[in-house]
Amino acid sequence: MVESVLSKKPLVKRKNSKQNTMQQRSILLFNSSIKSEKTRKHYIMFVDEFKDHFIIKSYDKLVAIEPKKLQEMLETFVMYQNTNQHSLSYINAKLSALKLFFGMNDVVSLNWIKLRKMLPEKMKLTGDKPYKTKDIQLILKNTANLKFKCLIHFMAASGVRIGSFETMKLKHLEDMPNNCKSVLVYDDDKSEYYTFIHHEAVEALDQYLAYRTRLGEKITPDSWVIPSTSDSNKPVTTASITTQMNRYARQNLIQNKKRGRYEIQACHGFRKRFDTILKSNYNVNINLAEKMMGHSTSIPLDNVYFKPAIEQLFDEYQKAIPELIIDDKYRLQQKLKEKDEKINELNQKDKEIDYLKNTMLEIKNNMLELQNRIKS
């Protein structure tokens, strides 16, 4: 009979020979099936949670459990997750990790359909609103930390996920026209994509890099865009960004809370704003906007064959810059610049029209002169 732990919290993981545990055949097979390091880390965490929940000492012992008993354990685990009011997507992710783990170890007689039927109903998402520009202005006004000023500007300008900073180095940024930079996200991964940061975010990055240089850090292309505060040789962690951004957001914004979540997620709110601005601009190609979000497009084959040039993406990005900019001063400068460019473009067209008129008149006069010569 499986021990029921519905009323208890999962036991804390024991610190016994973790390195040896990770060399067990069952976990090695599991790891070999996952290509993304980020996914691997999360999936191992979910399998560990299940293993420790039932006080199983090793991965190999876990896959050796008789399937009928294992099915009961999985059902108990799902019921425990439900009683703790975890979201459907969160429990689903845990089940996906467990299904892959047991599948890679030939435990194939488990009833996953039954387990999926036990999941909670999908609830309307909360905490999915974007930041308003004035919200970000308020946070920046009350933030003296150059590191987090840079982070805020970078996320708002590029729409990157916070996890991307764990692999992002300065060599992944390249100069673009108008003092912008391209950003290669998840380099050398199947999910890699390009986005950009505009001149306002570039200025915040330059100020942060200058500050790091003053502190004695040697900045090279292999330097992290956002390093750990305690060790510049390591990247900032997702947990660290989340903790700090939650603190800044909660201190500066008044928000309603629904089902345990605020209306605006402290970090994801920047990405949501980026997505909303690009897709609300009817001049921006929506498929290229999806590419700059690292999303798949609505046309399946496009995801395989449609690889737009970075220049194409940048052309679309520039159309959204006026709305992506945070500081009103920069936004006004950008609009004045665009107005001047439009005036110059119109002046150039007027010159071209005048040139064509003069050319046509010259041709007409030459024709008349030729006709007169023929008559005479």
247, 365: one domain: no
User: What are the backbone dihedrals phi and psi of residue 121, each rounded to the nearest 5 degrees, phi first?
Assistant: -70, 150
Contacts of 344 (CB under 8 A, 6+ apart): none
224, 365: one domain: no
CB 316 within 8 A of CB 359: no
7-11, 83-87, 278-282, 362-366 — most confident range: 278-282
User: What are the backbone dihedrals phi and psi of residue 347, each rounded to the nearest 5 degrees, phi first?
Assistant: -60, -40
**DSSP classification of residue 128:** B
The pLDDT of residue 255: 61
The answer to whether residue 220 sits within a structural domain is yes
267, 146: one domain: yes
> Model's pTM, two decimal places?
0.63
The label of the residue with tokens 């293993």 reads 51
Query: Of all helices (H) and strands (E), which one includes residue 196?
Result: strand 193-197
CB 310 within 8 A of CB 194: yes
Token code pair at residue 23: 């060399």
Domain CATH for 250 = 1.10.443.10
255, 360: one domain: no
User: pLDDT confidence of 30, banded at 50, 70, 90?
Assistant: very high
The pLDDT of residue 302: 52
252, 140: one domain: yes
The pLDDT of residue 355: 82
Flag the least confident range among 86-95, 109-118, 223-232.
86-95
The answer to whether residue 277 sits within a structural domain is yes
Calpha distance 100→113 (Å, rounded): 14
105, 224: one domain: no
Last residue of a domain, one of 86, 117, 148: 117
167, 100: one domain: no
Closest CA to 294 of 186, 182, 156: 186
The answer to whether residue 54 sits within a structural domain is yes
Flag the least confident range among 63-77, 202-216, 288-302.
288-302
Write out pLDDT tens, residues 231-243.
999 999 988 998 8
138, 169: one domain: yes
Last residue of a domain, one of 66, 88, 117: 117
Strand partners, 175: 181
| Number of domains into which the chain is organized | 3
Calpha distance 270→129 (Å, rounded): 10
Calpha distance 125→265 (Å, rounded): 11
The answer to whether residue 8 sits within a structural domain is no
State how beta strands 257-258 and 193-197 pair. Answer: unpaired
The label of the residue with tokens 């783990």 reads 101
Last residue of a domain, one of 286, 301, 326: 326
Closest CA to 123 of 283, 16, 261: 261
The answer to whether residue 157 sits within a structural domain is yes
The answer to whether residue 109 sits within a structural domain is yes
191, 60: one domain: no
User: pLDDT confidence of 15, banded at 50, 70, 90?
Assistant: very low
> Using DSSP, how many helices (H) and how many strands (E) does the chain show?
16, 5
Token code pair at residue 127: 């905490």
Token code pair at residue 213: 């240089």
Q: Is the predicted pLDDT of residue 4 greater than 50, yes or no?
A: no
Residue 180 three-state SS: strand
CB 288 within 8 A of CB 145: no
CB 276 within 8 A of CB 130: yes
CB 91 within 8 A of CB 78: yes
321, 344: one domain: no
The pLDDT of residue 84: 78
The answer to whether residue 233 sits within a structural domain is yes
238, 314: one domain: yes
By residue range, what is the domain housing residue 358? 340-376
Closest CA to 260 of 162, 153, 96, 123: 123
The answer to whether residue 94 sits within a structural domain is yes
173, 113: one domain: no
Write out pLDDT tens, residues 244-272.
888 888 887 756 555 556 678 888 899 99
